[in-house]
Amino acid sequence: MANIIDGKAIAAKIRGEIAVEVNRLEAKGIKPGLAVVLVGEDPASKVYVSMKEKACQDVGIFSDEHKLPATTSEKELLDLIDRLNKDERIHGILVQLPLPKHIDTEKVLDAISPFKDVDGFHPYNVGRLVVGKPVFQPCTPYGVMVMLKEAGVELAGKEVVVVGRSNIVGKPVAFMCLQQNATVTLCHSRTKNLAEKVGMADVVIAAVGQPEMIKGAWIKPGAVVIDVGVNRVGEKKLVGDVEYAAASERASAITPVPGGVGPMTITMLLYNTVESAKRGA
Ligand code: NDP
């Protein structure tokens, strides 16, 4: 049976360390500040934003909330971002996605100062990540890397197979593993013989968004499995992208869903905000 890599416990430990760091900064007269911008009434986005606000409060980060109506124009949003870029109390800016259709998401994300881009989505930060000199690392992939480290998984020389090539998870996590000297295979919907590729992996990172599509039988015995997927099945049940029960029989370590990668994402957002405050953004 695989060891469970407990995202909740790792996240709690790191949030404790962040709270200590926030206290230390406050003693020097610096209060880390995160601006969270929500446009419209998307129910899931509202839940995420309130989770981020609460997480900030729990560790002592100043949470500057901007809840704007769905009718907000692109110009009004860009003006707000301009003000936040110049506001010295703010060290991180997060615009909750998706934005209403009349707003150009790329234009908005590009308007955030790369030095306050705690989500790590700005092309400047994406480029820095690719050349191995990140300023901010995107939160979910960063969380995956921290979990691997905490679980004692050494990546150098290992075969890592990432399934999913999105800009927010698959691609950045592949570059982060490459930076740690893994040999990385990045798979997607057009990949042939996926089962065979997954079967080669010492570490499988799944970020597909399809319930249990990676079968337990594909996993090489002793491999480490990180499941980023969060899929709602029926009314209440959440499952990952990996067939958890069967994969647990073969893997040496595995992340559960829920309670795996999920709690790490907001934790790394807090971490990036504090790092930004330390740099004096
Ligand atoms: P996207 O939908 O943006 O990307 C999915 C990727 O999976 C694409 O690259 C797609 O390939 C690939 N894919 C789809 N079907 C297959 C298939 N049959 N075989 C191989 N590859 C396939 O998803 P995200 O990256 O945004 O999210 C992935 C999952 O992670 C979701 O479940 C999401 O909810 C979860 N997530 C969890 C977070 C957390 O905090 N825990 C944060 C972010 C995401 P192609 O490019 O060819 O279309």
Tell me what the mean pLDDT of segment 29-56 comes to: 96
The domain at 139-262 falls in which architecture?
3-Layer(aba) Sandwich (3.40)
Average pLDDT over residues 101-111: 97
Dump pLDDT digits (tens) for 177-223.
Answer: 999 999 999 999 999 999 999 999 999 999 999 999 999 999 999 99
The CB of 186 under 6 Å from ligand 1? The reply is no
Map tokens 């606000």 to a residue: 53
Query: Per-domain residue ranges for the chain?
Result: 32-114, 139-262
CA 29 to chain centre: 29
- 80 is written with which tokens? 């707000």
> Which residue's CA lies nearest to atom 5 of ligand 1?
208
pLDDT range class, residue 20, cuts 50, 70, 90:
very high
Q: Is the pLDDT at 25 greater than 70, yes or no?
A: yes
Q: CA 190 to CA 195: how far, in whole Å?
A: 13
Separation CA 240–CA 262 (nearest Å): 11
3-state per-residue secondary structure call for 51-98: HHHHHHHHHCCEEEEEEECCCCCHHHHHHHHHHHHHCCCCCEEEECCC
What is the mean predicted confidence (pLDDT) over 24-42? Answer: 97
Query: Do the domains spanning 32-114 and 139-262 agree at the CATH topology level?
Result: yes
What angle, 0 to 180 degrees and rounded to 10, lies between the N-to-C axes of helices 262-279 and 43-59? 50
| Residue 231 Cα: closest atom of ligand 1 | 32
pLDDT tier at 78, thresholds 50, 70, 90: very high
Q: Which CATH architecture is the domain 32-114 placed in?
A: 3-Layer(aba) Sandwich (3.40)
Determine what percent of the chain is predicted with pLDDT higher than 70: 100
Nearest CA to ligand 1 atom 34: 230
CA distance 161 to 202: 8
Instruction: Give distance in angstroms: CA of 165 to centre of ligand 1.
Output: 7
pLDDT for position 280: 77
What pLDDT is recorded for position 48?
A: 93
> 137 falls in which pLDDT band (50, 70, 90)?
very high
CB-CB contact of 256 with 3 (8 Å): no
Q: How many H helices and E strands in the chain?
A: 10, 11
C-alpha atoms less than 13 angstroms from C-alpha of 142 in its C-beta half-sphere: 23
- Whether the CB-CB separation of 223 and 250 falls below 8 Å is answered with yes
3-state DSSP helix/strand/coil percent for the chain, to nearest 5?
A: 45, 15, 40
Residue 15 in contact with residue 264, Cβ under 8 Å?
no
Task: Note the pLDDT tens digit of each residue in 246-265.
Answer: 999 999 999 999 999 999 99
- pLDDT of 92 reads 98
pLDDT at 281 over 90: no
CB 100 within 8 A of CB 90: no
Atom of ligand 1 at shortest range from CA of 143: 40
Residue 266 CB coordination number (10 Å): 20
pLDDT of 235? 87
> What is the predicted pLDDT for the residue at 255?
98
Rounded-to-integer distance, Cα 181 and Cα 154, Å: 10
pLDDT beyond 90 at 34: yes
214 Cβ closer than 6 Å to some ligand 1 atom: no
Which residue, among 188, 35, 210, 38, has the nearest Cα to 117 in the 3D structure? 35
Q: Cβ distance 201 to 161 under 8 Å? A: yes
What is the rounded CA–CA span in Å between residue 221 and residue 198?
A: 11
Across 85-100, average pLDDT: 97
Average per-residue pLDDT for the chain:
97
Nearest CA among 175, 178, 197 for reference residue 187? 197
pLDDT at 65: 96
Q: CA separation (Å) from 56 to 84, 141, 146, 250, 274?
A: 17, 20, 20, 38, 10
